[in-house]
Amino acid sequence: MSICNEHNLSRPISEKSFGIRLSLPQGDTLGHLLGQDWEAFHWYATAGERDKALAEIRAKHSYSRPGDFPTYVYEKITRD
């Protein structure tokens, strides 16, 4: 990747090969706002970092209301 002003980076660029793909299940009501094809990616340097982050993402958050459950679809991915 070409960076025009590397001196402005707050941390060095590193290739992160292990990721998590987040998407919505078919028919999810949030899809009306974001679009049914919405997806987001989170990248990590190692598989261990990714697996730890995935466990944290899937865990019940202490600030969630009783009965609230995230409806994201999580998929482990790897760049080739």
Structure confidence by residue, pLDDT tens digits, 22-76? 999 998 988 999 999 999 999 999 999 999 999 998 887 778 788 777 788 999 9
Q: What is the pLDDT of residue 2?
A: 60
Q: Quick one: pLDDT at residue 6?
A: 62
Q: Which amino acid is at 54?
A: L
Over residues 1-26, the pLDDT tens digits come to 566 666 666 666 667 899 999 999 99
Token pair of 41 as six digits: 């990616």
- Beta pairing partners, 1: none
Domain boundaries, the chain: 18-61+70-78
Q: What are phi and psi of 55, to 5 degrees?
A: -65, -40
